[in-house]
Amino acid sequence: MIDNDAIGQPLQSVASSPGAVLLPHGSLCPVAYNREALQILAYPNSPEDLAHPSPDLARQIGERLLCHASRGSRKFVAEFRSGDRTYHCRALSVCFNSDKKGAGPNQATTLVLLERQASPARQLQRQAWKKFGLTPRERQMVELLIAGMTTKEMAQTLHLSANTIKSFLRLVMAKMRVSTRSGIVGKLLEGGRA
């Protein structure tokens, strides 16, 4: 249940959670939203630059999230772009009871979830990781390798010895049937084809 004292205030959010906006029936002015939604919809501006977040969000929702072809009923787009990122947009009908006296028994609202879509390169990585059976730690090594880090930089980042990094990378090379670090990257660019 939503605290009525928090109406128009940002919802608490968890890291890497989807953007969430709660809209009352018949209005685009949010009842509540989380920081992720504010960042996604405010882009390229910083959320801190918004003088009046709720009206600014209402405008962005109307411009970016509503299907303009639908007349009469409120329908949301399936996906949209914010900067270089693509997001899936899901709208869920939500009813909640108010505990305050004098309020209506049920209030219809719409919860709009904004979930980031993985990039094609990231999807290829995941397919390759699955194909080669890489462990989470081995995947982490490959990501740092792709980022261009040296063995020493990887060791400092992960608080491991350089020899441990080299051992993990040799395991990855064996699983991917390559003999060099550049071979690892090449396999990922091939999309995991053997």
Helix ranges restricted to H, 77-161: 120-132, 136-146, 151-158
For residue 136, pLDDT over 50 is answered with yes
Give the mean pLDDT of 141-165.
88
**Within a domain: residue 156?**
yes
Task: Identify the three-state secondary structure at position 177.
Answer: coil
Helix (H, G, I), strand (E, B) or coil at 95: strand
- Taking the whole predicted model, whether its pTM rises above 0.75 is answered as no
pLDDT surpasses 80 at 189: no
On whether both 81 and 132 belong to a single domain, the answer is: no
Q: At what angle do helices 181-189 and 162-176 cross, to 10 degrees?
A: 50
Is a pLDDT exceeding 70 seen at residue 147?
Answer: yes
Tokens 């670090």 sit at which residue? 181
**DSSP state, residue 141:** H
- Indicate the residue among 116, 136, 165 that finishes a domain: 116
**pLDDT tens by residue, 90-107:** 888 877 665 555 445 556
Predicted local confidence at residue 12, as pLDDT: 37
- Find the range with the poorest average confidence among 8-22, 28-42, 43-57, 113-127: 8-22
CA 160, 166, 171, 176 dihedral sign is positive
Indicate if 104 and 141 belong to the same structural domain: no
Q: 141-168: b or e for each residue (b if 16 or more CB lie within 10 Å)?
A: bbebbeeebebeebbeebeeeeebbeeb
Residue 194 lies in a domain: no
In this prediction, residues 74-93 reach a mean pLDDT of 83
Question: In the listed set 98, 116, 134, which residue is the last one of a domain according to the structure?
Answer: 116
Q: Which position has the higher pLDDT, 168 or 85?
A: 168
- Which of 52-56, 85-89, 97-101 has the lowest average pLDDT? 97-101
E strand segments, the chain: 10-11, 19-24, 32-34, 79-82, 85-97, 106-116
Give yes or no: residues 97 and 156 share one domain: no
pLDDT of residue 107: 66
Strands 85-97 and 106-116: antiparallel
Please report, to the nearest 10 degrees, the dihedral formed by the alpha carbons of residues 156, 159, 163, 164 taken in order: -140
Residue 100 shares a structural domain with residue 44: yes
Average pLDDT of span 121-144: 81
Boundaries of domain holding 39 = 4-116
Residue 172 has pLDDT above 90, yes or no: yes
Cβ count near 3 (within 10 Å) = 9
